[in-house]
């Protein structure tokens, strides 16, 4: 990049610095660079449920209390597990709560964020409800035991807006897919159970024994789905120990259920245990070879292991399995960017935007790639599109600041970089770009303070230390006048 005293390629947890041969023989030169896509603060590699800091939207702070009763009847003779019967009653109550919540969410989302699909509304209703209490009662009627569950929950308007954060679009869409999957599994198991109960009424003694065994297997699969759902709920709250325990219980109940293996892989990836993540995702793929999510997530693990060939193969397979999922296309772009192949990266970012035109991370990544190629106008165009969708996207503000610095429009550069560091106080690259802009505006104290923060948050980057040294000398010289 022009004006840069060094070139640095950062790939998240490792960094390779390439210095000109004369850099140690000369006086340090003040300069800037823009970080690699894979180094961005928000994280550009889209694990199907990417973890990004949620944006805070202004709301009225409304909180609603809702409650519902669920019911399940155990037929005599089948030997159903009473604990599973309670779980079925609870699931029925939560289903009714979700229907109540959906009515309000649909009206709020149409006003604030535009029309959502039925599946999106249902997913929001499931994920934003906070269960506050539940109670159980039992009653025997005509020889059958009736289980009732009364559930109370809170619905907070702010949580709805947070879940609709445009920067988290891929995370939300993955939640939608998982909610659909769980809903289908529950519907399949409930339908199967009702069919077994109908057959049981007129079955012979031998047939009844076989049906009872099938009911037990149905209970095990139902229990696995409930533990899996709870695991992802805890995972979303960053309670990884609790989530791992739930996923393990789901696997114990049904070892052939792929989703909890995928969940264990999520956590292993997030904890940077990539060898373990590969093991878990392979197991999920073995059990469900037609699912795109574990393929994409396996590619994520291979990316961070530095095995780009395998990562590319996984991402392409994931995109083939689910052409409507933009995440593997973005990940392909990220890998090709890391391989210094910007034209191929741009191709896949553009494909991702054809699938999901409002995909903020794809827009910003495309903008960064054009900037790294030196096409600042094109890069700014896509970063501005990202900011139109999410005004609180710090990386896009920093990219604009970098471009304005390169265009020598230092007032605008400083303004953009201030917004970036306000949104993310530990954003070292944005602090450096702010320091550079302020130095050109002769705002020496602000320049020194910005460079100091850049070094504070990224002490291993030589350019930041060079800039701080120059700012120190400049400030000392200015004060001595």
Report the alpha-carbon distance of residue 335 to residue 448 in Å, rounded: 35
- Phi and psi for 63 in degrees, rounded to 5? -130, 125
Best CATH choice for the domain 1-42+393-481 from the list 2.20.25.90, 1.25.40.10, 3.40.1190.20, 3.40.50.2300 = 1.25.40.10
Where do we find the tokens 């104290």? 445
pLDDT value at position 116?
67
Q: What is the 3-state secondary structure (H, E, C) of 310-343?
A: HHHHHHHHHHHHCCCCCHHHHHHHHHHHHCCCHH
pLDDT tens sequence for the chain (481 residues):
333 332 222 222 222 222 232 322 334 567 777 666 655 533 334 444 322 232 222 334 577 788 889 999 887 678 889 999 999 998 888 888 888 888 777 776 654 445 567 777 777 777 777 888 999 999 888 778 899 999 998 877 777 766 666 555 556 666 777 777 888 888 899 899 999 999 988 899 899 999 999 999 999 999 999 999 999 888 877 899 999 999 999 999 999 999 999 999 999 998 999 999 999 999 999 999 999 999 999 999 999 999 999 999 999 999 999 998 899 999 999 999 999 999 999 999 999 999 989 888 899 999 999 999 999 999 999 999 999 988 988 999 999 999 999 999 999 999 999 999 999 999 999 999 999 999 999 999 999 999 999 999 999 999 999 999 999 998 888 766 5
Structure tokens at 325: 């999922």
pLDDT score, position 105:
76
Greatest distance between any 2 Cα atoms in the chain: 104
Strands 14-18 and 7-11, bridge-based pairing: antiparallel
Instruction: Give the model's pLDDT for residue 417.
Output: 97
In this predicted structure, what is the pLDDT of residue 27? 44
User: Using CA atoms, how far apart are residues 96 and 326, in angstroms rounded to an integer?
Assistant: 32
Residues 52, 42 contacting (CB under 8 angstroms): yes
Identify the burial level of 12 via C-beta atoms within 10 angstroms of its C-beta, where 0-12 means exposed, 13-18 middle and 19 or more buried: middle
What pLDDT is attached to residue 60?
Answer: 41
> Buried b vs exposed e over 132-153: b needs ≥16 C-beta within 10 Å?
eebeeeeeeeeeebbbbbbbbb
Contacts of 317 (CB under 8 A, 6+ apart): 292, 295
Give dist(CA 240, CA 444) in Å, integer: 46
Separation of alpha carbons 473 and 481, rounded Å = 13
Q: Where are the domains of the chain?
A: 1-42+393-481
3-class SS at 35? Answer: coil
Residue 53: which H helix or E strand, with range? none
- Kindly write down the DSSP assignment for every residue of 273-288, as one continuous string: -HHHHHHHHHHHHHH-
pLDDT of residue 340: 92
CA distance 211 to 5: 75
**Are the beta carbons of 208 and 196 closer than 8 angstroms?**
no
> Residue 92 has what DSSP assignment?
H
Confidence (pTM): 0.75
In the prediction, which pLDDT does 138 show? Answer: 92
pLDDT for the residue numbered 183? 83
């Amino acid at each position: 990049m022009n004006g840069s005293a060094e070139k640095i390629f950062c790939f998240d947890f490792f960094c390779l610095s390439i210095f000109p041969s004369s850099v140690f023989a000369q006086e340090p030169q003040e300069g800037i660079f823009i970080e690699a896509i894979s180094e961005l603060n928000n994280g550009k590699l889209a694990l199907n449920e990417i973890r990004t800091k949620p944006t805070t939207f202004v709301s009225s702070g409304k909180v609603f209390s809702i409650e519902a009763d669920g019911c399940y009847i155990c037929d005599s003779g089948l030997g159903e597990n009473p604990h599973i019967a309670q779980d079925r009653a609870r699931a029925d109550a939560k289903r009714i709560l979700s229907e109540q919540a959906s009515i309000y969410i649909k009206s709020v989302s149409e006003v604030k964020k535009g029309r959502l699909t039925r599946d999106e509304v249902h997913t929001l209703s499931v994920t934003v409800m906070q269960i506050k209490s539940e109670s159980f009662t039992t009653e025997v009627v005509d020889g059958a035991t009736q289980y009732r569950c009364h559930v109370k929950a809170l619905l907070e308007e702010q949580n709805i807006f947070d879940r609709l954060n445009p920067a988290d679009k891929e995370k939300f869409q993955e939640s939608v897919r998982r909610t659909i999957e769980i809903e289908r599994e529950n519907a399949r198991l409930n339908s199967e159970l009702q069919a077994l109960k109908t057959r049981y009424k007129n079955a012979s003694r031998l047939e009844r024994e076989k049906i009872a065994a099938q009911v037990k297997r149905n209970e095990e699969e139902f229990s696995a789905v409930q533990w899996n759902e709870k695991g992802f709920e805890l995972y979303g709250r960053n309670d990884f120990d609790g989530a791992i325990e739930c996923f393990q219980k789901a696997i114990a109940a049904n070892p052939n259920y792929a989703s909890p293996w995928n969940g264990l892989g999520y956590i292993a990836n997030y904890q940077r245990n990539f060898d373990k993540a590969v093991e878990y995702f392979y197991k999920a793929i073995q059990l469900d070879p037609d699912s795109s999510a574990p393929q994409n997530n396996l590619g994520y693990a291979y990316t961070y292991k530095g095995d780009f060939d395998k990562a590319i193969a996984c991402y392409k397979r994931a995109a083939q399995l689910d052409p409507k999922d933009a995440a593997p296309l973005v990940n392909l772009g990220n890998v090709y960017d890391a391989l210094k192949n910007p034209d191929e990266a741009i191709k896949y970012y553009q494909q991702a935007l054809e699938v999901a035109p409002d995909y903020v991370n794809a827009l910003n990544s495309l903008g960064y790639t054009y900037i790294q190629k030196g096409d600042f106008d094109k890069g700014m165009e896509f970063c501005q599109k990202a900011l139109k969708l999410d005004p609180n996207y710090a990386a896009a503000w920093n990219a604009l600041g970098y471009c304005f610095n390169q265009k020598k429009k230092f007032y605008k550069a400083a303004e953009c970089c201030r917004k970036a560091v306000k949104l993310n106080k530990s954003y070292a690259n944005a602090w450096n770009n702010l320091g550079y802009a302020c130095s050109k505006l002769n705002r020496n104290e602000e320049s020194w303070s910005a460079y100091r923060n850049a070094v504070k948050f990224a002490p291993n980057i030589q350019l930041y230390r060079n800039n701080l040294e120059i700012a120190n000398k400049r400030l000392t010289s200015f004060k001595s006048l």
